[in-house]
Amino acid sequence: MQQTTSVRPILRSKIFLYVTEFFSGMAVMAAELGASRLLAPYFSSSQIVWTIIIGTIMIALALGNMWGGRRADKDPNPDRLYLRILIAAVWIALIPLVGKYIIILISGLLIISVSTNFLVIAAFVSCMIIFVPPLFLLGTVTPGLVKFTTDSLEDNATIVGRLGACNTVGSILGTFLPTFVTIPAAGTFVTFLIFSGLLLALPIIYFAAAKVKRVASAISIVIFVVSAILSPLTGFAFWEGKLTYEGESIYNYLQVKTLADRTILSTNVLFGVQSVTMKQGGLTGLYYDTALAAPALADKADSALILGMGTGTYARQLREYYPNMSIQGVEIDQSITNLAGKYFDEPSDIPVSTYDGRAWLEGSDEKFDVIMVDAYQDITIPFQMSSSEFFTAVREHLNPGGVMVVNMNMISDGEGSINQALQATISSVFNVGTNSESVVMADVEGTTNRELFAKAPSGEHRDSANTVTSANTMQQSAEVSALQRRTEELTGDAALTSYMGTVASRFETVDGPDADESSLVLTDDKAPVELLGMRAIDELIAQQSGPYKEVLRTKGISGLMQMQ
């Protein structure tokens, strides 16, 4: 073994071996975090996707450790180890160039061939193809370095400890730098290139010092340069002709698209629209219009809190139809707030706190007439904003007779559905005592959204004639004539008043959880919202892909390709 390492002078001091372990550990963690950001725009950033990423990478590293140890014992040649590092670095450098195409190809093939667990299967297959090979090769590094670094059994534990420390410190930097520095500043693609470049430098230096593998080194450098030049030319949604903005923040992938009549924000290239502004004002045709029933259902319409402000779509609508209403926004992603002012005409006089919605509630004693909860994206439902404890906090921040409106992204019914759980949880908080019919819901026509309205217990208030009365129950307020009359009284807008009639016609009363013993009430301790959300996504995919599957079954690939 000593003779093997002495062949290459660069390894005699062993410092280069420790440096190799350091940058190898850094590359592994950077690739893992990069994987989450590469997959998130297509499959979400849910705990499910994170579990798949971590699991597949750990499998790759474990297999690499085992195989690398056997190879080091059989053939203790450092040239082979650094060649594997070279291949891993080049592979990681190619991920920003070809990874997105592989993901879309896999998704396209699976969406017409699988019936359930599409997100799990698609994310798993994507990880296996894109990330397992280079991480397997990096898994061989540590056992190889132990073989080349250890001189005798007397100090082998010390050597292993040093290598472990180098790997751990590198992993720490590989964790913090992408999250807080490179991804927010330069994006996911450049992050892959930065850390693959650092990793690539190790074998290039090694082979240059040994004056071997010059052709392989030159080819690797060329591939890296080509990927560095071409990768930034296309984004995650590479099929889009022209985007007004595409970028990333600490929390999200961000895409702004300008259309003839509106500007939209998406944080996922496969699922939905997160915010929209209409260039001529008025109704959007999206779930925000249905949510405008909340002020008319409340006893008063003087103040509103929006948890999940986005680029301020609901705030703009409230300002348009309820100009005297005071509005407070809460948005965790400062980058989205910045886009709101630049592209979406968010009113500058509406305060927006950069905070987690639940944490903001815990730190405030303000009360509001309307609270909108709009923090759910596809299956990425923050569990801490879906529990009975959270909705209790919302209720406590409502004025008497105030209304909470929740945008539930996916229409999903039946036993074990996400909406059944959310509806049961909310009604367990609001349908109590004399306030037993305080929750109603309405599906949004032409979308996958459902809006749920929950009313806090009403106190006495004075009507326009200064007569003390008790507020209407939610069921009475949600009737077509009552909702239209209240909307006309508050806004005077004929178009909105007419639309509220269609909203009221879709209202359904939500029973309490006791009405269905199978209902799951979500709590901080138990809120499996991502697994429940995944079922809803499967249902939506099955509905949308049904025609394509039928064409594939009857006419084959040629028929599928002929579909417009």
Give the active site residues: 374
Q: Of 246, 206, 291, which is closest to residue 496 (Cα–Cα)?
A: 291
Q: Of 222, 198, 230, 224, which is closest to residue 93 (Cα–Cα)?
A: 224
Write phi, then psi, for 149 (nearest 5 degrees). -90, -35
Check: CB of residue 507 under 8 Å from CB of residue 440.
Answer: yes
> In angstroms, rounded to a whole number, what is the distance separating the alpha carbons of residues 454 and 450?
13
**Inter-CA distances, 481 with 293, 490, 499, Å:** 13, 14, 12
Write phi, then psi, for 344 (nearest 5 degrees). -120, 10
Q: Of 353, 24, 73, 438, which is closest to residue 199 (Cα–Cα)?
A: 24
Token pair, residue 445, equals 């026509």
Torsion 141-142-146-147 (CA) sign: negative
Strand, coil or helix: 445:
coil
Write phi, then psi, for 282 (nearest 5 degrees). 85, -170
Q: Of 19, 15, 34, 58, which is closest to residue 170 (Cα–Cα)?
A: 19
> In angstroms, rounded to a whole number, what is the distance separating the alpha carbons of residues 468 and 81?
84
Residue that is written with structure tokens 């005409």 in the block: 345
Q: What's 232's DSSP letter? A: G
**Inter-CA distances, 398 with 368, 418, 507, Å:** 5, 25, 22
**Inter-CA distances, 447 with 45, 154, 228, 318, 405, Å:** 22, 69, 40, 21, 17
Token pair, residue 238, equals 């590479």
Task: Find how far residue 344's CA is from the centre of its chain.
Answer: 21
Strand, coil or helix: 50:
helix
**Inter-CA distances, 519 with 113, 424, 425, 436, 553, Å:** 32, 6, 9, 17, 37
Question: What is the 3-state composition of the chain as percent helix, strand, coil, each rounded to the nearest 5?
Answer: 60, 15, 30
